[in-house]
Amino acid sequence: MKFDYKDLLENCIPGLSIDCVVFGYKDKKLHVLLVRFIDSHVWALPGGFIPKDQDMDAVANQVLLQRTGLKEVFLQQSHVFSSLNRHFDINPRSRLVMDTIKSTWMEEQKEELEAWFSQRFISTSYMALVDAEKVHPQIDVLSDACDWIPLDELPELIIDHSEMIHQAHEQLRMKIRLLPIGKSLLPERFTMSDLQSLYEAILDQKLDRGNFQRKMIRLGFLNRQEKLMTGAQNKAPYLYSINDEAYNELLEKGIGFS
Amino acid sequence: MKFDYKDLLENCIPGLSIDCVVFGYKDKKLHVLLVRFIDSHVWALPGGFIPKDQDMDAVANQVLLQRTGLKEVFLQQSHVFSSLNRHFDINPRSRLVMDTIKSTWMEEQKEELEAWFSQRFISTSYMALVDAEKVHPQIDVLSDACDWIPLDELPELIIDHSEMIHQAHEQLRMKIRLLPIGKSLLPERFTMSDLQSLYEAILDQKLDRGNFQRKMIRLGFLNRQEKLMTGAQNKAPYLYSINDEAYNELLEKGIGFS
DNA sequence: CATTTATTGTGTCAATGTGACTCATTACAT
DNA sequence: ATGTAATGAGTCACATTGACACAATAAATG
């Protein structure tokens, strides 16, 4: 399979791209979905270019679908990055990526492609929240790895992608205070301590167990289900699921975690 | 003075623009700064195109400076609008603008300019908060009016500009719950009822006078100044100014109006 | 100058939410 | 049968909130 540079040159808007900051929750930690470019072994956010006949939300949804197999998850615009040094050759890492792309795939139309990749790219970041268990990360023709990386173990990334991640994390931290998040990041059923760990991971602070439970129950968007027998030598926790009706009501009112 | 279409064609990125939703506070109401296109008399948000050698924040600052004379005010990115029908001829209003621009200014390079204006424009909206009293709206070569319009008396606007305004208003309403706004929208000194009216205008709901006062005072970012003798037959209210140090501390902590 | 009017600064009180903590419960191991 | 570890629920002091009351005061009125 070859990189379809003809499609790129003919049908995509030059100088514009999107990048997706996909958050997932695994092993009591927040993770981000990253891809690794072939040969160069440089990490980056999964992204894409904008076809002339698509809007950016559609492209972001498509990138997400392609990388995770998921549709209709929480996905929203985050921020536009347009600084003058957003080139693929701004730092050694990014230059490596560009060199690899060029040497590997450019056979014809070398000049056009080189021009295409050497201009400034204005990129819009999207933030997605997904259930990490449901995702089976997919590589593509330009990447030889696509994996969940814990937020506190990020490798060096191309251009300003780590800034994008930090910006999205900050935005998530703000959002959780106005809206009950969780729904998108957790599986159908989860324990209260799952939910608490998620909040602790997002807010990056310890919360009191009893008070957290009381507060969440009182918000009234949780349905208590049967108990979960873990096999551990302790009291079995209840499982909870989300009452969509109550959840959406809270979303509308903008009531979240203080 | 002529419209500098050569600069446009040579130095600006085609298909990209910014638009500024500038909020001001006047007569106890939120206002937006709008411009009216020459001849066509169609209203729109003040905006601009992106020179190849500038980032978008710089362009937004420049538009704001040009229209209001203000620098270093609250100005931040809001949202990217990229729907497929974002053309200048999508609706009768926008088409009128384009026709006017074309017939008025296009003498040479008609085709290039027509191509430039007829493609889809992806536009990033910016939200600005300014002290309306400090602003003297400026027209330019493409506009014959630039005025403060109350949020509840918006005229029909081109393309999706009214959506941009509503989106920015919603964003402001969320932001005020996490941050003490006010500083940017009010003059140096203001009364407590000024501040309350501003909050009521943004949140679009009545607030209890006594409780509002108590809450604001307790937040601790207001310096009480001398009294203001209005000449009205009532008790003179105190003037307040903002204690920048305490204000910035609240900004960092993210403590606002519940 | 006493009285009225409109608005402002402050206070009260019940209801609710919060942080810190305790204690009984329970699934499993020994 | 007993111990262990985590869970569900409860207590209590304290802070915040919404609703309302009341005194203070700058100017108008007679």
Q: Each residue of B189-233: pLDDT tens digit? A: 999 999 999 999 999 999 999 999 999 999 999 999 988 888 888
Which nucleotides along chain D are within 7 A of a protein C-beta?
Answer: 3-11, 16-21, 24-28
Closest CA relative to residue A58, chosen from A124, A9, A116, A2: A124
Mutate to test the interface with B, among A82, A85, A175 (most CBs of B within 10 A): A82
In terms of phi and psi (left: phi > 0; alpha: psi -120 to 50; beta: otherwise), the region of A28 is left
In chain A the first and final C-alpha atoms are separated, in Å, by 50
For A13-64, the pLDDT digits (tens) are 999 999 999 999 999 999 999 999 888 889 999 999 999 999 999 999 999 9
In chain B the first and final C-alpha atoms are separated, in Å, by 50
Q: Are B52 and B7 in contact (CB under 8 A)?
A: no
B101 pLDDT higher than 80: no
**Mean pLDDT over residues A65-72, rounded?**
95
Q: List the beta bridge partners of residue B203.
A: none
| Higher-scoring residue by pLDDT: B105, B206 | B206
The span from the CA of B139 to the CA of B37, in Å, is: 9
Among B56, B83, B84, the residue with its CB nearest the CB of A82 is: B56
Q: Are A80 and A123 in contact (CB under 8 A)?
A: yes
Closest CA relative to residue A257, chosen from A163, A176, A167, A198: A176
A128 pLDDT higher than 90: yes
Name the H helices within B69-106. 92-105
Which pLDDT band holds residue B2 (cuts at 50, 70, 90)? low
Question: What is the enclosing helix (H) or strand (E) of A212?
Answer: helix A209-219
User: Residue A50's pLDDT is what?
Assistant: 97
Q: What DSSP character marks residue B235? A: P
Among A57, A80, A177, the residue with its CB nearest the CB of B77 is: A80
Distances (CA, A) of B161 to A57, B47, B64, B124, B148: 18, 11, 17, 11, 15
Determine the distance between B210 (CA) and D20 (C1') in angstroms.
10
Size of interface A-B (CB pairs under 8 A): 47
For A186-235, the pLDDT digits (tens) are 999 999 999 999 999 999 999 999 999 999 999 999 999 988 888 888 89
B84 pLDDT higher than 70: yes
Strands B122-129 and B12-26: parallel
CB of B55 less than 8 A from some CB of A: yes
Q: List CB contacts of B250: < 8 A, sequence separation 6 or more.
A: B179, B180, B219, B221, B256
- CB of A215 under 7 A from strand C? yes
Secondary-structure percent of chain B, ordered helix, strand, coil, rounded to 5: 40, 25, 35
Entry pTM: 0.94
Among A55, A82, A124, the residue with its CB nearest the CB of B84 is: A55
| Higher-scoring residue by pLDDT: B82, A101 | B82
> Dihedral of the CA atoms A7, A12, A14, A19 (nearest 10)?
-110
- CB of B231 under 7 A from strand C? no
CB of B50 less than 8 A from some CB of A: yes
Q: Which residue of A has its CA nearest to B78?
A: A79
Instruction: Name residue B9's amino acid.
Output: L
Distances (CA, A) of B91 to A235, B86, B145, B163: 64, 10, 21, 15
| Higher-scoring residue by pLDDT: A3, B200 | B200
**Mean pLDDT over residues B108-112, rounded?**
78
Which pLDDT band holds residue A141 (cuts at 50, 70, 90)? confident
CB of B13 less than 8 A from some CB of A: yes
The span from the CA of A57 to the CA of A40, in Å, is: 29
For A148-184, the pLDDT digits (tens) are 999 999 999 999 999 999 999 999 999 999 888 888 9
Phi, psi of A21 (to 5 degrees): -95, 100
**Which residue's structure tokens are 């100088």?**
A15
Exposure string over B135-164, b if 16+ CB within 10 A, otherwise e: bebeebebbeebebbebeeeeebbbbbbeb
Q: Are A252 and A244 in contact (CB under 8 A)?
A: no
Say whether A65 sits in a helix, a strand or coil: helix
User: Residue A240's pLDDT is what?
Assistant: 96
Phi, psi of A189 (to 5 degrees): -120, 145
Instruction: Name residue B214's amino acid.
Output: R
| Higher-scoring residue by pLDDT: B106, B28 | B28
The span from the CA of A149 to the CA of B209, in Å, is: 50
Determine the distance between A215 (CA) and C19 (C1') in angstroms.
12
Which pLDDT band holds residue B1 (cuts at 50, 70, 90)? low
Phi, psi of B52 (to 5 degrees): -65, -20
For B118-153, the pLDDT digits (tens) are 899 999 999 999 999 999 999 998 899 999 999 999
**A82: chain B residues, CB-CB within 8 Å:** 50, 55-57
Q: Are B104 and B38 in contact (CB under 8 A)?
A: yes
Q: Are A258 and B178 in contact (CB under 8 A)?
A: no
User: Residue A219's pLDDT is what?
Assistant: 94
How close, in Å, is residue B226 to chain A by CA atoms?
36
User: Residue A106's pLDDT is what?
Assistant: 64
CB of B225 less than 8 A from some CB of A: no
Q: Domains in chain A, please, with CATH? A: 5-163 (3.90.79.10), 180-253 (1.10.10.10)
B63 pLDDT higher than 90: yes
CB of A205 less than 8 A from some CB of B: no
User: Residue A48's pLDDT is what?
Assistant: 95
User: Residue B258's pLDDT is what?
Assistant: 77
Nucleotide nearest to A219 (CA to C1'): C17
B169 pLDDT higher than 80: yes
CB of A177 less than 8 A from some CB of B: yes
Tell me which protein residue sits closest to nucleotide C30, measuring alpha carbon to C1': A233
Which pLDDT band holds residue B88 (cuts at 50, 70, 90)? confident
- CB of A236 under 7 A from strand C? yes
User: Residue A75's pLDDT is what?
Assistant: 97
Which pLDDT band holds residue B25 (cuts at 50, 70, 90)? very high
B245 pLDDT higher than 70: yes
Which pLDDT band holds residue B234 (cuts at 50, 70, 90)? confident
Strands A43-44 and B74-81: unpaired
B158 pLDDT higher than 90: yes
Sign of the C-alpha dihedral, residues A7, A8, A10, A13?
A: positive
Q: What DSSP character marks residue A142? A: T
A1 pLDDT higher than 70: no
B103 pLDDT higher than 90: no
Determine the distance between B228 (CA) and C2 (C1') in angstroms.
26
